Every structure is written in C-alpha cells, then in structure tokens.
C-alpha cells in the first residue's frame, strides 16, 4: 500500500495543527502552541514505542515526521482563523487520524511480537495518548474522560483488526475496514452525543 | 517462595479495582474508569522498567497481568457498591499492595545491577507512581502530596530491605519483614493522621 | 574541559533546590518537596535519554547525581528562608542551569547519532522538561506556558550551538557562547517582561 507513508505524514501534520489550535483560548504564546502541537503529534507513537522498547522512535529515526509537525504548527500560526472555520473539516481529519493510527499502532505492535491483547492496547494508545498528554499538560480533563465515545472507538477498531487479521483477511482490506469502523463509531457517537454509561 | 507470583497478580488486580473506583465521583464513563484502573495498575512497574531499560515490560511480557487488570476493572464495574462498602478491606489491600510492590521493585532493580540507593527509589516508584500518574491524569493533586505518610513509608521499607539484605538476612524473611514495616507505618500514620512536617 | 562534570553536578543541585522550594506554598510535606525536587532535577535528562534509548540513565549510572539532588533537597529543607531571600541568586542559577543543560543535551543527542533538528529539541527538553513535569504533577500550568521567553530561549541556544558546530567552531568556545546566549535571552526577556505573541 504505497499510500501508507504519505498518509502517516498527513496524519501527523493534522494532529500537530489540532494540538496547536487546542490551546488557542489559553494564555499560551506561539511557542507554547507549537510545543503543544508537537506533543500531540508525537505523544501516542512515542509512548507506544517506549513501552515496546522499539528504537529509534519514529520521529527521531525519520526526520520527515518532524517537518510534518513543523508544517502543521506553522499552518496553525499563519491561518488560525481559516483553520478554525474549517472546524468540521478538522474534526473529520482528526477522526480519520485516530482511525488510521489505531490500526498502524496495532500492526507495529504485532510486528514486534507482542500478543494481540497488548497490540490492541498499543493501537489505542497510538491514537489517543498524544491528546491525553496534551490535555494533562495544559491542565484539562483529558479528552478521553470528557468526550463521547472516543478511545473506546479506537479500542473497538483495534480488536476488529485483530479478529479479521487472525481470520486471514488480506491486510489492505483489513486496514481499510477497521479504520472505517473507528471513524464510523466516533462520528455516530459525536452526532448523537452517545457516551458509555457511568460507573455508579 | 511459591506465593510470589499469585500475590503479584492479586496485587495488580487490587490496584486496578482501586484505580477504577477512584474516578467514580468524576464525570467518567465506564471506559474512563477502566483506563484509569489500567494506568493505576501498570504505572509504577512500567516507569521502573522504562527507567531501568528492562524489556519487555512486565505486563507486556506476561499476559496474565493484563487479565488480572481486566478482572479488577470488571469487578469495579459489576460490584461498585459492594466494593465501596468494603472500603476498609480495600484500604487494607491497597496498603498490602504498596508494601509488597515496594520490596519487589527493590529486588528487581537490584537484580538489574543498579546501586542500592537507586534500587530504593525504584522500589518506592513501583509502589506509588501508578497512583501518582492516575491522579495527574484526572487532574487531582497526587496522593503522594496529599496523604498521611504514604510514599515515605515505602521509601523507609525499601531502605530497610536493603539494610537487611546487606546484613545477610535470608530473602523470604526480609521480604516479609520489610513489607510488614511499610504496612505498619502506613496504617499507624493513617489511623493517627500523622504526616511529615511541612516546609516553611 | 575539566569543569564540565562539577558544573553538571552543581546544576543538578540547583535544580533540586528550586524544585523543592517551588512547592513551598502548597500543602506539601517535606517528602513531597523532596520528591518534587528530585523530579525537577532528573526530569529533563531522563526524558531525553528515554527518547534516545540511551541507558543507563545518567542519574542511575552515576550515583553522584543522586547525592547532588539529595544535597539540594536537604539544603532546601534546612535553609528555606535563606534560599528564598536569595531569590535573585536562585533565578541566576536556574538561568545558568537551563543554558548549560541545553547545550549538554544537544551534545549528548548528537553523540548518539541523531540529526541536528532532533538534537535541538533534545537540548531544549533536557533544560525545561524537569520543570514541566514538576508543574504538571503539582497541578499548575507548566512554566513553559506561563513565563516570559523561556523554553524558546533554550531552543534558540540549541540551534545556535548546532550552527556554530557545523561551521567548525571549537567545542569549548561554542559551549560558552551558546550557553551565554540562552542566559542573555532569558534575562532580557525576564527584565523587560518580553513574551512571544499569542495565537489569535
């Protein structure tokens, strides 16, 4: 699938934009916004790779990821109003991003020889932990705890990918189907404000 | 000591329950509670192993830890009221847990060849950092900074273990004694609301 | 440069003091202050080394760093009022510290074979992430997001070091110049309350 590498770079770019814009209401200067965009974009994959002991980290081994982040942060600096008007587009991109990175995270974990249960968690971590770390740094309740079905959509997609994988589905179809399922769950949950029940 | 492995699994199970129940008052859904239970249970050991460069991480290399966590989270989902009524029992289990994991953390660090001063810190980290990370994520002042003598009890037990270790005490006795000392300090401090003096 | 090692220890000592004193107004006991001092002192270098997969971590491989931290924490316990009266001196030391650790972080990253863009980020991380982690733990907006030009001064110094490095400047001069530039930017920004523009 020749599209994978450019899609990873685009996903990183989008995560950097959404991270930088996320702190717009706060008392953050340009540097703080750039830092936050950076953390959002690298957080999930970095945590996954540190947990798996997989070195070098993706953004350290391949400099193009750093440039994708830089481009995202610059875009957020130069066109903030334009990007914020594109709120729906950004939401769409973010949702595409978490779907896609979930599956890639599962695949990377599997390729490093861990069990599928662990791979499912790593897929979810790849997708959502950048946002969790960002929210923790800026002193907000992490997105994971606030939003309509979010990380659980990633976990569901990760488990689906693993099931289809062990059933022998070809990888490209599986990547596509599982990503779409994450996206669909998230979008339906968002539109109808669905959330999981609370503990009480 | 054949009991060690089942005790580790039970300790992990208990930490997962207490982590999941800890967010009960918050605006967290079931998934958020499960995530928090997971982080609480793996946090300390993961930080220790990442700092020591010891791979695979315990819960990645041995899938039974993940199932112990899952069982703890499910127990918290299914029997929250029952478990909260057992508050005293849970407190006891949590206290047993921090005592036991402190000593195991010290032993693991020593076995990886670090100096005893570092091993003492690693023992304390193993026991308390899961709770610290949990509290940071849910935007609370970490337990470490709030409670009656807590992490300092672990540090004291870790140092005691090391002293007895270098004095040549047999390992099983040492494990028992040092764990009991952590537990005793914590329980006395809790009952009499003892805390260390403040800095001023 | 025979001064480097003692300077590193002194820098660690100073970071531990400033970390321990930073929580003085909070509800923290002596242990909490010591813990915070410890995290502040090791945080940046630890994150850098974990990201680069460089083991053992500095403070684990060389016990003198741990003793420098212990000395700093004890100094903060015994002479808090004296040290707080030295606020200007402490500010100076902290500023010297971030300048010096920025450059050392860049050098370590380069020596591990990463690209200069990554080395610049690692230099900045070394200097500022201890404070960021400390602030996150005690539930404050990290220093990075609050203060007059701070982390951006480190990033500027890191980039300067790399430019001079590739231009062939001798290492000792480069270390001196780049450190001074970080310090100068930070002090001018502090005195004139300069900050970068905000995103809006």
Q: What are the pLDDT digits (tens) for C64-75?
A: 999 999 999 999
Confidence of residue C122 (pLDDT cuts 50, 70, 90): very high
3-class SS of residue C86: coil
Preferred mutation among C31, C41, C136 to probe B, highest tally of B CBs within 10 A: C31
Say if the Cβ atoms of A27 and C198 lie within 8 Å.
yes
Which residue of chain A has the CA closest to B62?
A115
- CB within 8 A of B62, min separation 6: which ones? none
3-class SS of residue A198: strand
In this prediction, residue A191 carries a pLDDT of 86
Say if the Cβ atoms of B144 and C35 lie within 8 Å.
yes
In this prediction, residue C32 carries a pLDDT of 85
Euclidean distance between the first and final Cα of chain A, in Å? 46
Closest partner residue to C136 (CB to CB) among B53, B121, B136 is B136
Residue B146: Cβ within 10 Å count: 15
Closest partner residue to C29 (CB to CB) among B53, B141, B198 is B198
In this prediction, residue B193 carries a pLDDT of 80
Which residue of chain B has the CA closest to C77?
B199
| Tokens standing for residue C196 | 């970068």
Find out whether B176 and B120 touch, Cβ atoms under 8 Å: no
Quote the CA–CA distance of B160 and B174 in Å, as a whole number. 9
A83 near C CB under 8 A: no
Find out whether A152 and A186 touch, Cβ atoms under 8 Å: no
B65 near A CB under 8 A: no
Residue with tokens 């982080």: B39
Quote the CA–CA distance of C126 and C118 in Å, as a whole number. 12
Cβ-based contacts of C137 with chain B (< 8 Å): 132, 136, 142, 145
Instruction: Please say if the pLDDT value at position C26 is more than 70.
Output: no
In this prediction, residue A18 carries a pLDDT of 85
Please, is A197 exposed, middle or buried when counting C-beta atoms within 10 Å of its C-beta (0-12, 13-18, 19+)? Answer: exposed
Cβ-based contacts of B63 with chain A (< 8 Å): 115, 117-118
Can you tell me the mean pLDDT for A3-24? Answer: 86
Preferred mutation among C18, C34, C60, C135 to probe B, highest tally of B CBs within 10 A: C60
User: What are the boundaries of each domain within chain B?
Assistant: 4-191
Residue C29 — φ and ψ, nearest 5°?
Answer: -85, 180
Can you tell me the mean pLDDT for C2-10? Answer: 87
Euclidean distance between the first and final Cα of chain C, in Å? 46
Please, is A37 exposed, middle or buried when counting C-beta atoms within 10 Å of its C-beta (0-12, 13-18, 19+)? Answer: buried
Can you tell me the mean pLDDT for C15-20? Answer: 88
Can you tell me the mean pLDDT for A113-136? Answer: 94
The ranges of chain B with pLDDT < 70 are 1, 24-28, 147-148, 198-200
Residue A82: Cβ within 10 Å count: 9
Alpha helices in chain C (DSSP H): 4-22, 30-52, 58-61, 63-78, 80-85, 87-111, 116-137, 143-146, 151-166, 171-191
Closest partner residue to C151 (CB to CB) among A27, A31, A138 is A31
- Which of these, A145, A176, A144, lies nearest to A160 by C-alpha position? A176
Instruction: Give ipTM to 2 decimals.
Output: 0.91
B147: left (phi over 0), alpha (psi -120 to 50) or beta: beta
| Tokens standing for residue A179 | 């990503």
């Amino acid at each position: 699938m020749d599209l994978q590498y450019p899609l990873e770079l685009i996903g990183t770019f989008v995560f950097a934009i959404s991270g930088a814009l996320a702190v717009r209401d706060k008392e953050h200067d340009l540097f703080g916004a750039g830092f936050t965009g950076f953390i959002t974009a690298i957080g999930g994959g970095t945590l996954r790779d540190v947990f798996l002991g997989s070195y070098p980290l993706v953004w350290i081994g391949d400099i193009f990821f750093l440039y994708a982040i830089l481009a995202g942060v610059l875009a957020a600096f130069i066109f903030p109003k334009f990007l914020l008007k594109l709120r729906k587009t950004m939401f769409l991109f973010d949702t595409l991003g978490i779907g896609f990175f979930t599956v890639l995270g599962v695949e990377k974990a599997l390729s490093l020889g861990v069990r599928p249960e662990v791979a499912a968690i790593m897929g979810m971590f790849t997708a959502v932990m950048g946002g969790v770390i960002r929210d923790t740094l800026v002193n907000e309740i992490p997105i994971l705890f606030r939003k309509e079905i979010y990380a659980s959509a990633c976990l569901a997609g990760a488990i689906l990918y693993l099931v289809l994988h062990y059933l022998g589905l070809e990888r490209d179809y599986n990547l596509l189907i599982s990503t779409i399922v994450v996206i669909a769950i998230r979008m339906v949950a968002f539109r109808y404000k669905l959330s999981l029940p609370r503990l009480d």
